[in-house]
Amino acid sequence: MARLAESGANPDVDLLYDINGLAKDAPGWFDRVMEFVGEYGLLIAMVLLILWCWWSVRRRGGEDAAPSVAALVWAPLAAGLAVLVNVPIRGFVRRPRPFVDHEGLDVLVSGKTDFSFVSDHATITMALGVGLFVANRRFGLAGIGLALLEGFCRVYMGVHYPTDVVGGFALGTAVVLLLSPAATALLTPLMRAVERSRRAGRLVRRRPPAGERTDAVLPGTRTSVASEERDLAA
């Protein structure tokens, strides 16, 4: 396979060597940074991004608060489900890690003994990114960008082929989008029930502080016809 890569007959392996070759030319400190970012950092960043989006949705309030929070809840659930779907896929394909079949790779993470296809990290981050996009496009685009960076890091670290990453992206996206209608139908009423709760409702929509007017119109809400008529009469 390595010979195929050198002759350019296998684009997957060829691209693996090209991207992983950047690690050989980089200083040691940069490789250590990429190791942490690719193994843990981007996953942490994705969780923080989801929490930031939740905080923004909660503060904004409005009629779309419950559906948006429901979509945010679905994102990690979909990521976990996608990883479970990947278990039989890995067992069926049984693709060894790239460093098992190919020499000369600069492997930044040791101890990877499981199969390579598809990448769990790519699957999780893309599922979170696409799930975030369903809830909020602006945050979702940032999440998808983090997922793409995660995929690059996995190849850079020498632990996955590019097609492992692409397969993970496809799996994570498919699970989120295909099951999103059913998940939304189940989670949105649940979030609306939580929103009506006196204590747990704060998880969905911010309660106005004492002294703040509660009849203010929130984004996405409409004033009643009676109030509009009073305004016109005035």
> Mean pLDDT for the chain?
83
CA 159, CA 110: separation in Å to the nearest integer?
A: 9
8: left (phi over 0), alpha (psi -120 to 50) or beta: left
* Whether residue 232 has pLDDT greater than 70: no
Whole-number pLDDT of residue 102: 87
Q: Kindly report, residue by residue over 127-144, the tens digit of the pLDDT.
A: 999 999 998 999 999 999
Q: How many CB atoms lie within 10 A of CB 91?
A: 10
Q: In the structure, what pLDDT confidence band is assigned to residue 209 with cuts at 50, 70 and 90?
A: low
Can you tell me the distance from the alpha carbon of 17 to that of 233, in angstroms, rounded to the nearest whole number?
Answer: 74
In this prediction, residue 46 carries a pLDDT of 96
Q: What is the pLDDT of residues 81-133, one digit of tens each?
A: 999 999 999 999 999 999 888 888 888 888 788 899 999 999 999 999 999 99
Give the model's pLDDT for residue 59: 81
User: What is the pLDDT, as a whole number, of residue 3?
Assistant: 41
pTM for the model stands at 0.81
